[in-house]
Structure 1
Amino acid sequence: MSTATTRSHERRISPVFLAILAVMAVTGWAVWTGFAASPGLAIFLFVTAAWIVSLCLHEYAHARTALHGGDITVGAKGYLTLNPLAYTHALLSVILPVLFVILGGIGLPGGAVFIEQGRVKGRWKHSLISAAGPLTNVLFAIVCTAPFWLGALDGVPLAFRYALAFLAFLQVTAALLNFLPVPGLDGYGVVEPWLSYRLKRQIEPYAPYGFFVVIALLFVPAINGAFFDTIDALMRALGVPEISRYCGSNLYRFWQETPEICQV
């Protein structure tokens, strides 16, 4: 399917997204150079803007894959403009994930764009559409951690290392949560086309609650511990020291007292 099936204005990058990208670039420069009077505030703005950019790319990946899969309506819905305000569930896709980063420090998966499933033919295409979003988070995490696993940290300011480590942590948590085969999450969308019609009908009534069940389960100590042990193992595999993520998380909350070990 060619993008010729959409009009040019339906693929034009939104000024809203460009503004968020500009904030990310400027605050990233401020973190790198130490220009900001408060490094914590600069890290907060940089990581938050970068997190929103990743949310936009996540939803764009769903939409662009759906377009190539046969759903030519995604352009008219504004999904190809990277505008976070165009999403069907702006609250779930952007606002709630940002609040969870600020309050809870984890990358919460967002709500998916609305895809007209009947226009997409073939189970593999349906699975790929669902997988495209969290795979974007995986790619984002790889890019953020590249200086760590490539051993290319010479010349990278300490504050910027911490910011990258925390941003990578958010991407890893979002990818892992999103790939869970739970109704309402992308992981279920990957396996759902391969389930029997009868099983899908039995699961369907519970789909709207799967997202909230996962969040509730994260408050169970045993599950929370196992989840973050897995995240820590993945971060170590990507070469990111635990102290870097810890300090990035603490500096991000600039309104709290920064531990001495994390002073930059």
Structure 2
Amino acid sequence: MTTAPSRRDRRISPVFLGIAAVMAVTGWAVWTDFAADARIAVFLFVTSAWVVSLCLHEYAHARTALHSGDISIGAKGYLTLNPLKYTHALLSIVLPVIFVIMGGIGLPGGAVFIERSRIRGRWRHSLISAAGPLTNVVFALVCTAPFWLGMLDGVPMIFRFALAFLALLQVTAAILNFLPVPGLDGYGVIEPWLSRKFRAQVEPFAPFGLLAVFGVLFIPEVNIAFFNGIDAILSGLGISDLETYCGQNFYRFWKTRDELCQSFVS
């Protein structure tokens, strides 16, 4: 018999605390220009912050499921924020980090197993699916707050670039997650409202939904339109495309340094 999560089931994992500590220390190194190579500090700061956001994304799914009736969540370790407890750590952590390194795009995760049979009510099912990408939205608002609140005085330019790139990742993750494509959270939001027959027909394609999305993004016209939309959203939040570009340039420490971006921090 499954019981409600104990205090131990809710205790924050040392693994997550370690990742958060890396984020804090490297963020301080970027801010103070303490690191010998600022680009490596930016890489570590953005990557660790991205992993923290992925953990919070999955935690939001799990926590919402818990309050919706799935008390098995605690025993699975999802409430500890430990990424090693996810059903598919490869999908939730490793692949998203690889995609950030390779292409600078926020890959949606999704690897907490929720026992949907324990949950009653279509609204609850929809809310569980929406909770993850909504976390990315909140994270994006936090990253961009200094920009749209006009609180950039005293913020080092390189830290500003790092925040801009991190915000880009959060916005892309939120938008991609909310797409109504089988296998993504957006489809999970509308799925409870679809007919049983339609859901049965679509279910076999769910494992390939994410691959299909990225296949479509490789079409040049779609890719340009997608990132133009991302730039427009970030612009509305006070971030220019130059800031996100320089943030990505500093993040990729193994690439040639852009002299224009470097001139802003010299």
TM (normalized to structure 2)?
A: 0.97
1:110 aligned residue: 109
Worse overlay, 235-244 or 44-53 = 235-244
Partner of 1:155, secondary structure, is coil
Residue 116 of structure 1 and its aligned partner are, at CA, apart by: 0.3
Q: Alpha-carbon deviation of 1:5?
A: 2.2
Alignment of 1:205-244 (within 5 A): 205-244=204-243
Structural mapping, 1:40-59, within 5 Å: 40-59=39-58
CA distance in 1, matches of 2:176, 2:97: 15
Residue range with higher mean Cα deviation, 223-232 or 160-169: 223-232
Normalised to the residue count of structure 1, the TM-score between the two structures is 0.98
Structure 1 outlier segments of 4+, above 4 Å: none
- How far is the alpha carbon of 1:261 from its aligned partner? 1.1
Question: Which residue is 1:137 aligned to?
Answer: 136
Q: How does 1:1-264 map to 2 (within 5 A)?
A: 5-263=4-262, 264=265
**What are structure 2's unaligned runs of at least 5 residues?**
none
1:52-92 Cα shifts (integer Å, max 9, x gaps)? 00000000000000000000001000000000000001000
Amino acid at match of 1:67: L
Instruction: Give distance in 2, aligned partners of 1:111 and 1:214.
Output: 15
CA contact (8 A) 2:20 2:48 kept: yes
Q: Aligned partner of 1:23: which letter?
A: V
For 1:151, give the aligned amino acid. Answer: G
1:154 Cα deviation from its structure 2 partner = 0.2
Alignment partners' CA distance in 2, 1:51 and 1:189: 23
Q: Deviations over 1:192-227 (max 9, x none)?
A: 000011111111111111111111111111111111
SS of 2:72's equivalent?
Answer: coil
Whole-angstrom CA distance in 1 between matches of 2:62 and 2:135: 12
Q: Which moved more, 1:205-214 or 1:158-167?
A: 205-214
Q: Bigger shift: 65-74 or 254-263?
A: 254-263
Deviations, residues 141-171 of structure 1 (Å, cap 9, x unaligned)? 0000000000110000001000000000000
- Secondary structure, counterpart of 1:137 in structure 2: helix
Shift of 1:112: 3.1
More deviation, 108-117/11-20: 108-117
Shift of 1:103: 0.7
SS in 2 for 1:88: coil
Q: Is the 8 A contact 2:89 2:111 kept in 1?
A: no
CA RMSD after TM alignment: 0.8
- For these two proteins, the number of residue pairs brought into alignment is 261
SS at match of 2:117: helix
Percent of aligned pairs with the same amino acid:
71
